Structure 1
Amino acid sequence: MRRNLSGFLLLTLSIGALQTSQAQQKKSKQKQTSLTQYVDPYIGTGLHGHVFLGANVPFGAVQLGPTNISQGWDWCSGYHISDSTIVGFQHTHLSGTGIGDLGDISLMPTTGPIKTMKGSIKNMQNGYVSAFSHQQETVRPGYYAVLLKRYNIGVRLTATQRVGFHEYTFPKSSQSNIIIDLQEGIAWDAPVKTSVHQINDSTIAGYRFSKGWANDQRVFFTAVFSKPIKTFAIYDSTMVKASKTYEGKKVKGVISFGTQAGEKVLVKVGISPVSEANAMANIKLELPGWNFNNTVSAADAAWNKELQKVQLQTSSETNKRIFYTAFYHTMIAPSIFNDNNGDYRGTDKKVYLSPGFTNLTTFSLWDTYRAANPLYTILQPERVNDMVNSMLAIYKQQGKLPVWHLMGNETNTMVGYSAVPIVADAFLKGFSGFDKKLAYEAVKASAMQNASGLKFVKERGYIPADSLIESVAMGLEYSLADWSIAQMAKKLGNAADYQYFSKRGKNYQNYFDKQTHFMRGRLSESTWRSPFSPFESRHRKDDYTEGNGWQYSWLVPQDVEGLIALQGGEKSFINKLDSLFTVKGSLGEEGSPDISGLIGQYAHGNEPSHHITYLYAYAGQPWKTAEKVRYILKNFYTDKTDGIIGNEDVGQMSAWYIFSSLGLYPVNPANGTYVFGSPLFDEAIIKLPGNKQMHFITKNNGDKNIYIQRITLNGKNYTKSYISHANLMQGGKLIFEMGDKPNLNWGKLPQNRPYSEKH
């Protein structure tokens, strides 16, 4: 009996050890599974997504990719899936913007007679432009490849943070060329001063200064070639310069040599906002060798490291692709804007040496303050201090926080001072890697200017509609930001400022017409702008910004309780909110192209609508949030090229998807709470600082089971329809129990509803 028991124990232990080993191997395999396989960079290259397509690393200074010959609104990133032409491979691109710029330092390999102009769609043979086929194009995070059909040249691209790495496979040719075109840019961008010169038999350097959306953009470069340069010629328009160095407005440099069939020529291009020497130093520090495949692997590993911060379990491969591509899109910008040694060029055009933080640019703040920046406080906490420090440096250099900052330039695009809720959110969430005194000084100084309608805000509490266009949108954005300043003042113990900015945070009430129950343009204390239609939207020519009265009447995420009161109470508020999603009406003859993804008059393709579906929870009906959120997740995000319903907007459209598919959303971008919606995935694990993790589990999940019935947090019943940032960052296990019918009692009681401000 003992022997048999002993054998049984040995067998049991062996089986147990085998199962443990298999489980460990499975777990290890899951850990090693590369998530970049789920990223499809083509998503958003169709319709009006305007996303970047090419090779880069997370938040890198280099976005190296192809640029089409076409120009127009849908080519703001330089590339659209409908196109089949390439004029060059450029080192800077925007992603998801509604305005085009950049396209700096363009390289184009060719064969045969030298042509220095790109050509045109009607006469491609007149220039160096080449056709290509999407069937001969490959793209994944950190890697791009294509065949230039005109020249039979294979192109492969990859990148480090500040260096673009090119590999060109040439056919047999007595004259193979690489054109460095410093004239070419994207959309608005135009060269002002350019220069190129040869340093030695393998190195070319120069710079490109341009004017566009960024008024004074300066990019320096150094390019190192794996093959000795046989001939180097400089062109300026049609004039050939025999000298080895030249400065002009539209300079091109052409490197020529003979090649054998299948010969590979590699080029490393370092860029810098400071100098050619720093560009060369970036190459030496980031890409000292010539192993292209290893660089591709390193870029893939960099992306995979970031994507591993969220682990999903779902039977839907499609939803995985949409999620991880969205996650990828949130990490293209803000982009690094300094050199490997820390040097950068400020808004004042002065060079700052080793400032002690990583300087960043491409701040699309009117878009990203709503969800992308709150997402960074969870998934990119190590970068939040750099973002805030970059904004504070900009404040010191230009006297106000950035509005829409691009390559060391303030574009002043969009309304409001949207850096304020971002700085406030970081401050209120306890980030400490920046000067808090300076941070408060910066938000207050930005709010106390006289420009952009602020003189009226301080004097009257509203901006007269006949004094400035977009007055309603501007005033509502100011109210939200001012509320954020009040919260900072409260935490700092500054009672006077808390009272002052709290009052300004209520200024949204001055735009609310009690007769029509819409936010509308006000001319005086007693007069509204007339005639008025809540459907009317004339692109940047009226009282709203890329929207209308229906959409802007909900832009009060800082005081939803106050908005409910203005609408006449919860019942009226709910009825009005229901109407938003069903009412039909024309946007007007000049309707903004940004208003897309319509459900009634709700416009998911534009940011002012992004929080609206979650407002139901504030009135005790979170089940209606679930219905709307699931519809949007299913219909407005796909894994096709037109899979983003509007401009990707530098990560904001994607951030909405990430938050909402996980089951929560930051309605108020600066009060540290996330409102529950309807989780999409069976399981999701978010990796948090300190080796913590938040494990989301969705039970009874399914296409019809969209309603939350019950939630438990770490084994205890959790009755609130929101969760705080502090609780989320503690980690643990959050279990959603779902059903196909609403639980009308869940989240109904006032004490379980999300709040605007805790007292």
Structure 2
Amino acid sequence: MRKSVYWGLAIFYFCIASANAALSPESRPHRNPVDWVNPLMGTDSKYSLSNGNTYPAIALPWGMNFWTPQTGKMGNGWIYTYSADQIRGIKQTHQPSPWMNDYGQFSLMPVTGKLKFREDDRASWFNHKSEKATPYYYSVYLADYEVLTEVTPTERAAMFRFTFPETDSAFIVIDAMDKGSFVHIIDDRTVIGYSSKNSGGVPANFKNYFVISFDTPITFTATFDGEELHKGRVAMEGEHAGAVIGFRTDHKQVVSAKVASSFISIEQAWTNLRSEIGEDNFDGIKSTAYDRWNDVLGKFSVGSGNVDQVRTFYSCLYRSVLFPRKFYEYDKDGAVMHYSPYNGKVLPGYMFTDTGFWDTFRSLFPLLNLVYPEVAEHMQNGLVNAYQESGWLPEWASPGLRDIMIGNNSVSVVTDGYLKLGEKADYDIHTLYEAAEKVLNNPGPLTAVGRAGAEHYHQLGYIPSDSNLRGSVARTLEYAYNDFTMMQLAKLLNKPDEVIRHYRQRSLNYRNVFDKETNLVRGRKSDGTFDSPFDPFDWGGNTFTEGNAWHWTWSVFHDIEGLKQLMGGERDFLQQLDTIFNLSTRFGLGGRNNPIHEMREMQVVNMGQYAHGNQPIQHMIYLYGYTAEPWKGQYWVRETMDRLYHAGPDGYCGDEDNGQTSAWYVFSALGFYPVCPGTDQYVLGSPLFEEITIELPDEKVLRIDAPHNNADTRYVDEVCWNGQSYSKMYVTHQQLLEGGVLQFNVADKPNKERKPTVKDYPYSLSLE
């Protein structure tokens, strides 16, 4: 007894001493945050196996336009792959993922010697040793043409710098892509045009207009339509238009180009060019972009950690602040306006796009709400406009409504935003409440918009597996959670008790697809019988979406205590959690002829049925924090960070998915994670660094300390909050916003004597 008292006092005084230390980090990396970022992280991917499915996005945070080297052919969603050895152009892209593909794209490609304009003919060999990729600047030596090509971005514009050899045949090919395009060389320094190439989700009048202004007089002009070149012709409109301009250059002569685009008009593209570049030069734009990235990434300051960990952290943070992208522009008077990807009109106000809420509601939007609330507020304004212009909340926007994935997780994004941004946030929450009610109670114009199968769900309390909807169990679980977030929003807005009770009751519908015989969720027919035979390793089919029963059983974010009770109590719940990592890596095809890449990505990492490369199970490790054995979660969260992430081309273990998989790492490195967006709690895990600080609104600073933390000390002996021993397994949003010191005292062995009780567990609906 005396020994335990002595140990408790020792921990208490250690916490006090650490909390009294200055909040500023004692040691910081000797670089600025953006210097740690590797945009090539995740680019070593292919259709059959994703190590991220990313491309190097040369852009500003949340920028309207990204630029990237194009190694793939036109229309190939794998724009840039690390294993490629040829580049076809430097492309303006709006692609959120290879599966969604691109829209509104065009490219610039320098060529010397014999004129080559077709994409395969003009492709040049390159090597990563002569390539430099940063978020704010990209350069590559195009060996076939002896041209150093550089680009640096603004939000809606960019500057290029081409360093040519001495030649009388230096060319730049401007490819406006197929599916309808236009180019016009309007004078000896200027090219304008548009691209209407897209992959769906656009109105009939969609175009991306561009202007390109060169600092060197053009001495050769040509245009092309597909395969045919027309020398001397200055304008082309057709299925596949492009332009070729030429110069006479001296040795190492630099030709610069200012490029801007607009979804509104050519005139607006000129406005964007003047306002974002004006008379500035390449180095000035590059410096401004560098500073902007440091401002955004610099909200986090890592005071320890090895080089690989710091690089991975900031590379993941970089991916977390790219999407959703700004889809708005400023008129000549500085007023915010946008081309609507929903109705094709030019309207006032904010608009964002290129995000799938099925992925990003989980941790990406909670990260923005916590650290970047001003941008998150603009995104909520954009959702108001999206609803007013389309009649619905998007679930996957790129740039307009897309028919992919399941659930009504837009309601989670709305609720979590209002809960955390607060009443002072300047947007119309009442319109968003109206929108949420509509999508939760009505099927929409697309299967993925509104609530598909609403009549079944509202009548039976689940989506039956013998309906015509695939993913019946997955839909039921997501609908129940989405109803919970609606209940939370109704509470925040003081809606009538009967409305709150209605959504509360529906949020318990997850129980209707739980099979107590197997302690897993399972497909259920309209007559109430469970599907038989049942293989819990089987992916997809009529019951699951991108996963199997072992993955989806845990998607009861809002009522983990209720899930425990269904399983027979905490001991059985823990046993089922443990089982995930002890199972084989086998999978069933779910009626498919061949495996999908997510199956292989689970299989090859050898972590049982833990499929971190896909979203449904990414929160599961943190569910140990709802039990008396949190040390097991501490082990696995660090194991996942250490084993499945690094800042190299194969640095992810599956699709990065618009910041979600990256935001998981960012939160986990901090030592907590938002298991249930729509509540104000973050479940504690095991931090990665000895010290990290976060700049929060109102000049508040949160410091997270883990003294002597290293690769071997993944277990948490004790948590202190502002010097006081802290027993809860979560921290609240308001706690974090107030700033202070969150300290983890870590060890190389689990503290099995530290056994939280129900009063310390994170939120569950059944505990209300």
Give the TM-score, by structure 1 length.
0.91
Query: Are 1:435 and 2:422 matched, yes or no?
Result: no
How many residues are paired up? 715
Aligned counterpart in structure 2 of residue 628 of structure 1, from 620, 627, 636: 636
Q: Secondary structure at the match of 1:378?
A: helix
Q: Secondary structure at the match of 2:455?
A: helix
CA-CA distance at 1:343 after TM superposition: 2.3
Asked whether the 8 Å contact 1:101–1:214 carries over to 2, the reply is: no
Aligned counterpart in structure 1 of residue 268 of structure 2, from 254, 278, 299: 278
CA change 1:351–1:526 in 2 (3 A) is: closer
CA-CA distance at 1:519 after TM superposition: 1.3
CA-CA distance at 1:71 after TM superposition: 8.0
Query: Are 1:391 and 2:383 matched, yes or no?
Result: yes
Query: Are 1:658 and 2:671 matched, yes or no?
Result: no
Query: Are 1:553 and 2:553 matched, yes or no?
Result: yes
Aligned to 2:58: 55
Query: Are 1:413 and 2:404 matched, yes or no?
Result: yes
Aligned to 1:365: 357
CA-CA distance at 1:178 after TM superposition: 1.0
CA-CA distance at 1:702 after TM superposition: 2.6
Aligned to 1:591: 595
After superposition, where does 1:15-414 map in structure 2 within 5 Å?
33-47=31-45, 48=50, 49-69=52-72, 76-94=77-95, 98-102=99-103, 104-119=105-120, 127-183=121-177, 191-216=178-203, 217-240=206-229, 243-341=233-331, 342-355=336-349, 358-407=350-399, 409-414=400-405
Distance between the aligned counterparts of 1:212 and 1:666, measured in 2?
Answer: 33
Q: Give the partner amino acid of 1:658.
A: V
Asked whether the 8 Å contact 1:57–1:160 carries over to 2, the reply is: yes
The Cα offsets for residues 200-251 of structure 1, whole Å up to 9 and x where unpaired, read as 3211111111231445553111111111222322211244556533321111
Asked whether the 8 Å contact 1:66–1:79 carries over to 2, the reply is: yes
Q: Secondary structure at the match of 1:500?
A: helix
The Cα offsets for residues 612-660 of structure 1, whole Å up to 9 and x where unpaired, read as 0011111222111101101101100113221111111111111011111
Q: Give the partner amino acid of 2:224.
A: Y
Aligned to 2:16: none
User: 689-698 or 465-474: which moved more?
Assistant: 465-474
The Cα offsets for residues 322-343 of structure 1, whole Å up to 9 and x where unpaired, read as 1011111111211111223322
Distance between the aligned counterparts of 2:90 and 2:64, measured in 1?
Answer: 15
Aligned counterpart in structure 1 of residue 759 of structure 2, from 741, 744, 751: 751
Aligned to 1:615: 623
CA change 1:71–1:549 in 2 (3 A) is: farther
User: 721-730 or 706-715: which moved more?
Assistant: 706-715
Distance between the aligned counterparts of 2:28 and 2:664, measured in 1?
Answer: 27
Distance between the aligned counterparts of 1:631 and 1:348, measured in 2?
Answer: 43
Q: Give the partner amino acid of 2:376.
A: V
Distance between the aligned counterparts of 1:247 and 1:714, measured in 2?
Answer: 66
Asked whether the 8 Å contact 2:313–2:666 carries over to 1, the reply is: yes
Distance between the aligned counterparts of 1:550 and 1:257, measured in 2?
Answer: 62
Q: Secondary structure at the match of 2:597?
A: coil
Asked whether the 8 Å contact 1:52–1:95 carries over to 2, the reply is: no
The Cα offsets for residues 358-404 of structure 1, whole Å up to 9 and x where unpaired, read as 32111221111100110111111111111111122111122211111
Distance between the aligned counterparts of 1:612 and 1:169, measured in 2?
Answer: 51
Q: Give the partner amino acid of 2:683.
A: V
After superposition, where does 1:735-746 map in structure 2 within 5 Å?
735-746=743-754
Distance between the aligned counterparts of 2:290 and 2:146, measured in 1?
Answer: 27
Distance between the aligned counterparts of 1:437 and 1:649, measured in 2?
Answer: 30
CA change 1:96–1:696 in 2 (3 A) is: farther
Aligned to 2:472: 471
The Cα offsets for residues 50-84 of structure 1, whole Å up to 9 and x where unpaired, read as 11214211111121110113589xx7351111111
Q: Secondary structure at the match of 2:525?
A: coil
Aligned to 2:656: 648
Gap regions ≥5 residues in structure 1: 1-22, 120-126, 184-190
The Cα offsets for residues 300-327 of structure 1, whole Å up to 9 and x where unpaired, read as 1111111111111214111111101111
CA-CA distance at 1:344 after TM superposition: 1.2
User: 612-621 or 696-705: which moved more?
Assistant: 696-705
CA change 1:302–1:50 in 2 (3 A) is: same
Q: Give the partner amino acid of 2:488.
A: Q
Distance between the aligned counterparts of 1:257 and 1:442, measured in 2?
Answer: 55
Distance between the aligned counterparts of 1:54 and 1:165, measured in 2?
Answer: 15
Distance between the aligned counterparts of 1:734 and 1:420, measured in 2?
Answer: 31
Q: Secondary structure at the match of 2:162?
A: strand
Distance between the aligned counterparts of 1:543 and 1:99, measured in 2?
Answer: 23
User: 80-89 or 101-110: which moved more?
Assistant: 101-110
CA change 1:702–1:240 in 2 (3 A) is: closer
Aligned to 1:510: 512
User: 409-418 or 87-96: which moved more?
Assistant: 87-96
Q: CA RMSD in A?
A: 2.2
CA change 1:709–1:29 in 2 (3 A) is: closer
Aligned to 2:13: none
Distance between the aligned counterparts of 2:404 and 2:755, measured in 1?
Answer: 39
CA-CA distance at 1:472 after TM superposition: 1.5
CA change 1:68–1:33 in 2 (3 A) is: closer
Asked whether the 8 Å contact 1:682–1:699 carries over to 2, the reply is: yes
CA change 1:592–1:472 in 2 (3 A) is: farther
Q: Give the partner amino acid of 1:442.
A: A
Query: Are 1:719 and 2:717 matched, yes or no?
Result: no
Aligned to 1:459: 459
Asked whether the 8 Å contact 1:547–1:592 carries over to 2, the reply is: no
Asked whether the 8 Å contact 1:710–1:738 carries over to 2, the reply is: yes
Q: Secondary structure at the match of 1:581?
A: helix
Distance between the aligned counterparts of 2:506 and 2:433, measured in 1?
Answer: 16
Aligned to 2:416: 425
Asked whether the 8 Å contact 2:728–2:756 carries over to 1, the reply is: no
CA-CA distance at 1:413 after TM superposition: 1.6
Asked whether the 8 Å contact 1:193–1:249 carries over to 2, the reply is: yes
CA change 1:80–1:239 in 2 (3 A) is: closer
The Cα offsets for residues 70-99 of structure 1, whole Å up to 9 and x where unpaired, read as 589xx7351111111111111114355544
CA-CA distance at 1:543 after TM superposition: 1.8
Distance between the aligned counterparts of 1:114 and 1:58, measured in 2?
Answer: 37
CA-CA distance at 1:485 after TM superposition: 0.3
Distance between the aligned counterparts of 1:392 and 1:594, measured in 2?
Answer: 34
Asked whether the 8 Å contact 2:104–2:208 carries over to 1, the reply is: no
Give the TM-score, by structure 2 length.
0.90
Distance between the aligned counterparts of 2:457 and 2:99, measured in 1?
Answer: 28
Distance between the aligned counterparts of 2:402 and 2:208, measured in 1?
Answer: 17
Aligned to 1:572: 572
CA-CA distance at 1:439 after TM superposition: 1.5
CA-CA distance at 1:564 after TM superposition: 0.7
Asked whether the 8 Å contact 2:729–2:760 carries over to 1, the reply is: yes
CA change 1:703–1:297 in 2 (3 A) is: same
CA-CA distance at 1:529 after TM superposition: 2.7
